[in-house]
Amino acid sequence: MNYNKNQEIKLRFNDIGADGEGIGRTEDGATFFVKGVLPGETARVSVMKWKKTYGYARLIEILEESPDRVAPRCPLAGKCGGCSLQHLSYEKQLEWKADKVLNCIRRIGGFEDIPMEKIVGMKTPYYYRNKAQFPMQTGADGSSKIGFYAGHTHAVMNTDYCYIQAELMNELLPAIRSFADENHISCYDEESGKGLLRHILIRVGFASKEVCICPVINGSSLPKWKLLYEELSATCKKLNYELTSFCLDINTEKTNVILSTEVKCLAGRPYINDSIGGITYRISPLSFYQVNPLQTKAIYDTVKEFAALSGRENLWDIYCGTGTIGLYLAEGAKKLVGVEIIPEAIEDAKENARVNGIENTEFYAGAAEDILPKLVNQAATEPTVAIIDPPRKGCDEKLLETLLTLSPDRIVYVSCDPATLARDLKLLCAEKYRLERVRPVDAFCHSTHVETVCLLSRNAPV
């Protein structure tokens, strides 16, 4: 089979790929990935690239439309890099995500009877994000641009309105843009490495109403920053928020890593506070904090339910970040042990424990796969319940082996990638554990991502 560039072909679509693109087949079985098409649709497309076994094509015209197609709210849908499922009804997005989790656990994990529970979606899947890092750039006409990158590029599109960010952000962006223009402050150019303003990091405490704004600059100071601070403070106040943290991140490296570790606090505190279900968390510009507070609560409540603590357990929170999940559950445990690779996050975790008056805690900084084997010999701290919340790549095999040796009664696995989750479940459930509950949570509405919480219980010894 061969397909040429610009060749027009007809495809029938039956799936969605990792980036939200439609997966379609020709009558003779060739597979193509096409943005903006849904399962159940047929479409006329133009071939962009053929790679021997599959290809990419551009949509020309939809011939048969799916009943699940909806008109996206956002005028930038399909252009901006985010929200790749906005053209699919929210109900069907949830169904697709639950299926994705089920299929991974079945195909990669090799499980047959999977104890799937209903996916937890949002009532209003908009304005849910509490964090954004907006790139800035100088446009062809010399004026500054702030917003999102156009899909698969590094070209900034001026974004006047985003439907998934906290609404406050929509008010802040124009103010930042006019500040740069009126005061002739340059934006960073990736090619030459010149220009000052690179990104603007914004974090909003949904419960506390505290806001942190942190311009990332290619230089040591931001001229007229007080003016910007006052302007943005007033904008926050108008919407009943308070700009309690105004920082600068100094990033003078020629890199596409957004933040450097050098942060200066210019006004207020170097962090904001926010709370989830009665626990207060301190969040500094560099700390990891879940971006969808409402669904984070749903995830943490699920972990609490699955962990079923009685007050007697040693609870281990592995990959604990700033201690968020463990502290949320600590009240029900005898003792909490947290392990996390970033030392600053562990400092935040200790501070979070102190602020919340939670005393039965120990936190260790280091790679979980290295620290856990060392803790194994300390019989007093052996886990009764272990929570694992690894990054996308899943758990290191050494860590899983150590967990099997420690053999806590229950393991609660929180995952942001169903494929690596399924791989790790296979290893854990080979002998010692059984998969008892699987509950996906949609924390990234309109994107292809999905979180999953699983409960594993230790089999009775034979």
Residues tagged active-site: 416
Which residue in the shown chain puts its C-beta closest to ligand SAH?
321
CB of 61 to ligand SAH, least distance (A): 42
Is residue 288 within the footprint of ligand SAH (CB under 6 A)? yes
Best CA proximity match to 226, nearest among 196, 194, 183: 183
Which of 104, 166, 320, 456 forms a contact with ligand SAH (CB under 6 A)? 320
CB of 224 to ligand SAH, least distance (A): 35
Q: How many residues bind ligand SAH (CB under 6 A)?
A: 18
Best CA proximity match to 350, nearest among 264, 411, 282: 282
- Closer CB to ligand SAH, residue 221 or residue 261? 261
Is residue 313 within the footprint of ligand SAH (CB under 6 A)? no
Which of 290, 356, 402, 452 forms a contact with ligand SAH (CB under 6 A)? 290
If one counts every other C-beta atom within 10 angstroms of the C-beta of residue 219, the result is 16
Backbone angles phi, psi at 387, to 5 degrees: -105, 130
Reading phi first (left if > 0) and then psi (alpha if -120 to 50, else beta), residue 290 is in: beta
If one counts every other C-beta atom within 10 angstroms of the C-beta of residue 69, the result is 17
Q: Which residue has the tokens 């890593």?
A: 257
Measured CA to CA, the distance from residue 357 to residue 360 in angstroms comes to 9
Measured CA to CA, the distance from residue 162 to residue 86 in angstroms comes to 12
DSSP structure class, residue 109:
T
Is residue 291 within the footprint of ligand SAH (CB under 6 A)? no
- In this structure, the strands spanning 197-204 and 156-158 are unpaired
Q: Which residue has the tokens 């942060």?
A: 263
CB of 368 to ligand SAH, least distance (A): 4
Greatest alpha-carbon span in the chain: 75
Measured CA to CA, the distance from residue 64 to residue 47 in angstroms comes to 19
- Closer CB to ligand SAH, residue 87 or residue 282? 282
Name which of residues 321 to 380 contact ligand SAH (CB under 6 A): 321, 324-325, 339-342, 345, 367-369
CB of 288 to ligand SAH, least distance (A): 4
- Alpha-helix runs per DSSP H in 63-209: 90-107, 167-182
CB of 183 to ligand SAH, least distance (A): 37
Q: And the tokens for 236?
A: 């926050």
SS3 207: coil
- Closer CB to ligand SAH, residue 43 or residue 372? 372
- Pair 150, 135: CB distance under 8 Å: no
Measured CA to CA, the distance from residue 14 to residue 96 in angstroms comes to 12
SS3 374: helix
CB of 387 to ligand SAH, least distance (A): 8
Name which of residues 383 to 402 contact ligand SAH (CB under 6 A): 389-391
- Closer CB to ligand SAH, residue 222 or residue 419? 419
CB of 375 to ligand SAH, least distance (A): 13
- Closer CB to ligand SAH, residue 88 or residue 368? 368
- Closer CB to ligand SAH, residue 110 or residue 277? 277
- Closer CB to ligand SAH, residue 340 or residue 442? 340
- Residues contributing to the site for ligand SAH (CB under 6 A): 288, 290, 319-321, 324-325, 339-342, 345, 367-369, 389-391
